Amino acid sequence: MSAHSRMIAVIATCLLSLPARAADADSVRYRDCLAVTSIKPAAALADADGWAKAGGGAPALHCAALALIQLKRYGDAGARLDRAASAAAVPDLAFRAVLFTQAGNAWLLAGNGAKAAQSFSAALALSPGDADLYADLARAHAMRRNWPEAELRLGNALQIAPRRPDLLVLRASARRALKRYADARNDVEAALKLRPGDGEALVERGLLRQQLGDLGGARRDFQAALKSGSDEAAAEAKVNLEMLKP
């Protein structure tokens, strides 16, 4: 799952569970502000900033951050989400973990792997059994090309969810970057056994074969990925097929 897709997912989770959290007099303003972020983000940001100056605290910071994401100001959003998650007025540990997760994804979208790793690590301290958070942390390390740490965190994720093909594909990618080709092949073949025809796994196996000089095998995998039903995998496969042309 891409950083943007993961961000949309955690925002949706937050919105769905909002009424249980927002029990004070500001709950209506908080809910209304969040609802406007995707429709009129500039207006939502202005409202949230005014609310923050009036003492709106973490809810105002959160609303402003989600508006900033819609405005593609990802770094500013990450900073505000980190501040909101760290606020003493947020006693709900699960919600703090969500805020740190949103911050991490905002930092990924901003291209700042170091900040993303800090935010995801803070989220994991609050929610240590979350395989997706370990995968997010691995992505942050991969952005910095810290492949040993990325591979380690994906191993943590697979200890929690050993039958997740997506996690196996991600670890295969990290292991390929580390030139641990046999281990990478084992991971990608395990992913394809769990989910035959998986587009992401086919692309990863194609990249592995290409790196090992098996251009014919790589081409077959990329061509199969085009028909996998995954738009992301098909797009990546198309790019790689173009690169294989003489």
- Give all domains of the chain, ordered by start, each with its CATH number: 1-150 (1.25.40.10), 163-246 (1.25.40.10)
- CA dist 223 and 152 (Å) reads 31
Q: What percent of the chain has pLDDT over 70?
A: 89
Question: What confidence score (pLDDT) does residue 30 get?
Answer: 86
**Following DSSP, what letter does each residue of the chain receive, concatenated?**
--HHHHHHHHHHHHHHHHHHH--STTHHHHHHHHHHHTT-HHHHHHHHHHHHHTT-HHHHHHHHHHHHHHTT-HHHHHHHHHHHHH-TT---HHHHHHHHHHHHHHHHHTT-HHHHHHHHHHHHHH-TT-HHHHHHHHHHHHHTT-HHHHHHHHHHHHHH-TT-HHHHHHHHHHHHHTT-HHHHHHHHHHHHHHSTT-HHHHHHHHHHHHHTT-HHHHHHHHHHHHTSS-HHHHHHHHHHHHHH--
CA distances to 16, 144, 200, 202 from 226, rounded to whole Å, are 35, 29, 10, 9
With a cut of 70, which residues of the chain have pLDDT below it?
1-26, 88-89
User: What are 175-211's pLDDT values in tens digits?
Assistant: 999 999 999 999 999 999 999 999 999 999 999 999 9
Question: What confidence score (pLDDT) does residue 87 get?
Answer: 82
